Amino acid sequence: MNKYSLLENIKYILKVVKEKDRILLAEMAGMGLISAFLPYIVPYLSKAAVSCIVNGTGFERFAIVVVLFTVIFIVLKTMYNAINLSLWWRFFALKNDFVISRLDKAMEMSFENLEKKDILDRMKKAENATQGNSGVEGMLYSIKDLGIYIVRILFSVTLITFLSPVAVIVVISLSAINYKIGQKTKQRDVKLLMDKKAPVDRQINYWSRVTSNFAYAKEIRLFRLKEWIFKEIRNNNQAALALERESKRNWLITNSISYVLSFFQQLLIYGFLIYRVYSGTIAIDDFVFYSGCIMVLFDTVGKILDTGSTLSKQSIEINCYREVIELDDPEQSKNDKKLDLPEENSFMLEVKNVSFRYDGQRDYVLRDVNMQIDSKSKVAIVGKNGSGKSTLIKLLCRLYKPTDGEILLNGINIWEYELSTYLSVIAPVFQDINIFALSLKQNIDFGAGDDEERVNNAIAQAGLADKVRTLEQGIHSELLTIMSDQGVVLSGGEKQKLAIARSLYKKSRMVIMDEPTAALDPLAEQRLYQSLNKMIEDKTGVYISHRLSSTRFCDYIYLFDAGKIIEEGTHDELMICKGDYYDMFQLQAQYYV
């Protein structure tokens, strides 16, 4: 069931128009008045011509009327075209505002919500509502047309009522029946092409991105995935085509019925007018005029009902858009508690009885985790792949909210802090590094300013200076080949050094390294960790890895397995215990000792 009615969505669109572009409202009103008058010029001139012939009125008088109305027509049509052109770019600009709002919501939405299938389907529908001529832009045009048709119908009904109120009732009644049939078909069409087709479209878009994404290029070629991918694409296209065919079959039946009703309607109208002429109640010139007026009414009633049906479909799309824009996202609630950590003050980050499972999953990824991270301490979180280490870091970064338990910073739940102030404390480096098609400098400072010295210091500390010296444009070199043919493509290790440079550039109190050295060999990893330890000696450091190169210089170590902390302590303490940590270290010692 739709959250908002058609009228509420029309008011919503008009409210946005009023806020963004009031001139647009004035132009829509002006176009409505012009369009309401234009269709009656030809019937009136036809009436004047017949009257001139039948009554023997002087041709000169008729010529003056023709010239006068021709001038009026040209002036009004010119004004109409000028307003229509202005409306086009104003509608386009307004639609872009809706697109930006949708993108802003997508980027602000909680990370956890972005992984939910129903949210992804909603976002796809919201995206469809801001593309092409449907949804937002379509409703703008439909509202404009609706205003035109309402004024035109009022004018037509006023004229034709003098002839016969019955004629007005017949035209409107038959048009309403025609509309009702079309409305039923459109409702079926919405279920087919929106509800059923949205997941199919999402899959088609996914495979389209995969085939054009450089990140998948190696796997596609080396594993010969072309035929397999094409099979998936063909299956999705066939599913989409089947839904489109069903839609077209529904419309074929509806259109056939509509044509029969339209023919029957016109037959009744002309029969009625001919009868009035033969009965002597109207003259032949009135027959010409009223037949023209009734055809305008007939056409306008059909259009206004069709526009109403179109608006109903567009309203459903606007509902999809508003559902995403107004989505209640408590995980990203706007808390106003400021976080102020003066440099001289220490802080404590405490993970207290935290358990977590992903949405829709029965098994817990983390179970009853308890740990403390002191200010300026170095903590290692180690364990096998899949033991829950990275999930814990996502909880610390507020990408997820604990299913049970809480994470406290200085005794206050981290979700009570204003998000921007909390994120200013941490600088994460993840294993999966995303490079933007921007300059190397912009990939580090993200356009924060012109402090090139600070950027160069971060690059040097991260061990990327040698690479930068080989680049002709240095830190201003473009990365990737998407925007520039001369774009630089970094290796896996260089990408991770770039990510480390990002974290070092950011003035944060805590640096979190989530397996950032996975692309490096063990010795290079050990050297980098030793270097990092010196770089962030005045900061809190959290190192996550399934390798133990970082543990020797850490103050405290947590060993995870199956989502639980199974051992904790200093390196020496854990080695004395000769438990799982001892066994892991002994297996890996050949790389570090």
Please return the burial class of 355, using the count of CB atoms within 10 Å of its CB with bins 0-12, 13-18 and 19+.
middle
- Per-residue pLDDT, 252: 74
- Per-residue pLDDT, 355: 95
3-state SS class at 335:
coil
DSSP 3-state helix, strand, coil percentages of the chain (rounded to 5)?
65, 10, 25
pLDDT in tens, 241-295: 887 777 777 777 777 777 777 777 777 777 877 877 888 777 788 778 777 787 7
Q: How confident is the model at residue 333 (pLDDT cuts 50, 70, 90)?
A: low
Which residue, among 144, 162, 157, has the nearest Cα to 296 in the 3D structure? 157
CB 445 within 8 A of CB 505: yes
Extract the tokens encoding 279.
């009965």
pLDDT in tens, 52-66: 777 766 667 778 777
pLDDT in tens, 410-441: 888 999 888 888 888 888 888 778 888 888 89
Annotate 269-303 with b (16+ C-beta within 10 A) or e (fewer). Answer: beebbeebeeeeebbebbbbbbbbbbbbbbbbbbb
Cα 368 from Cα 567, distance rounded (Å): 14
Percent of the chain with pLDDT over 90: 9
Give CATH for domain 348-435+490-592: 3.40.50.300
Which residue, among 232, 157, 240, has the nearest Cα to 196 in the 3D structure? 240
> Which residues touch 524 (CB under 8 Å, ≥6 apart)?
493, 517
Q: Where in the chain is the domain with CATH 3.40.50.300?
A: 348-435+490-592
Q: Where in the chain is the domain with CATH 1.20.1560.10?
A: 6-328
Which residue, among 321, 327, 5, has the nearest Cα to 135 in the 3D structure? 321
Residue 122 dihedral angles phi and psi, to the nearest 5°: -65, -40
Question: In degrees, to the nearest 5, what angle opens at C-alpha 26 toward C-alphas 21 and 29?
Answer: 130
- Per-residue pLDDT, 70: 83
Question: In degrees, to the nearest 5, what angle opens at C-alpha 168 toward C-alphas 167 and 173?
Answer: 100
User: pTM of this prediction?
Assistant: 0.66
Architecture of domain 6-328: Up-down Bundle (1.20)
Which residue, among 410, 376, 380, 409, has the nearest Cα to 395 in the 3D structure? 409
Please return the burial class of 402, using the count of CB atoms within 10 Å of its CB with bins 0-12, 13-18 and 19+.
buried
